[in-house]
Amino acid sequence: MKTIDKKSLTLKTLNKSNIWDVQESDIFRMLEAAEKDADIKDNIRHYIDIVKSAFDLEEIKTERPEVAKKYEARGYKTGTMRAADGHEMNIAIKKRPIMRVTDLTYENIRHITAEKLMEVLDRNFGGGWDSLSQSIQDIIQSGFDISTTTLPKDRLHKPGGMYEKKVADGFAVLEIPKGAWIEAIFAKLKPETEKPHVKYDEDMAKKYGSDDEDDDEDLPEERDTYSDPDDDDFDEDKLTEESYRTTIEADPEDLDLAAEDVTDDDDY
């Protein structure tokens, strides 16, 4: 999980992604510091909207201490902040928990651990990876490498098998019983990647016409060799385990392709 220096964050540097790295005490610290910044005071509603993307924030409209204690009993932290009109108000803040798969977003998915993800998945369903909606799968896979396998109970933990290799490689695992079989879901946080910055020299600019920055149609395309077959990568053990499951649904008769007639060139 990505870690940041919380003390370096201010309301001005908060966004809907890094907001998930801070806690209630950090928000109160930022609010206090913001009282000295005229720009923040003029746009305080904008910054509060960012805070609310990850925190429940409520105004305490009474000075009675027993009301604040009730909020604190529910896990809130209480304090004060300066409102847009300049008056001081009492507020209660609580970090929004990620408990269900519907709590997962593109903004927070990289701010939880693989173990936390397994807890969320285990708490929300028992049907396996395929029971998740495509949108939830896309969110999870934007932050984690995911793989699954379904095997008989007595084969899942076979020495040297997929389970052992994945765990050794740092994957967290969730086991979902399915009768005499078990589906194992493996998850590992993806490393941070930066988009490459391509610098064109003057010759390329002249050749491909860089005057129009939005016109990329004439740029040369690089050949994607990622999916090229590699006979050296054949893994017999992997074939044995993963052959228990297929993602192809088709009528066997549809796969029986008839041979095409071949006509000699001399017949034309």
pLDDT in tens, 175-206: 999 989 999 999 999 997 754 444 444 444 44
Asked whether residue 25 carries a pLDDT value surpassing 80, the answer given is yes
Q: What is the mean pLDDT of the chain?
A: 78
Give residue-wise pLDDT tens across range 152-175: 998 999 999 999 999 999 999 999
| Cα 109 from Cα 20, distance rounded (Å) | 9
Looking at residue 39, its pLDDT comes to 83
Give residue-wise pLDDT tens across range 55-64: 999 999 988 9
Asked whether residue 18 carries a pLDDT value surpassing 90, the answer given is yes
Q: Which helix (H) or strand (E) holds 59?
A: strand 55-60
Decide: 167 and 160 in contact? Cβ < 8 Å: no
In 101-132, which positions are buried (b, 16+ CB within 10 angstroms) versus exposed (e)? beebbebbbbbbebeebbebbeebeeebbeeb
Pairing between β-strand 77-82 and β-strand 88-95 as defined by DSSP bridges? antiparallel
pTM for the predicted model, two decimal places: 0.66
Asked whether residue 115 carries a pLDDT value surpassing 50, the answer given is yes
Average pLDDT over residues 7-29: 92
Residues 6+ apart with CB under 8 A from 15: 50
Looking at residue 151, its pLDDT comes to 95
- Reported as half-sphere exposure (CB side, CA atoms, 13 A), residue 69 has a value of 3
Crossing angle of helices 24-34 and 44-52, in 10° steps, is 180
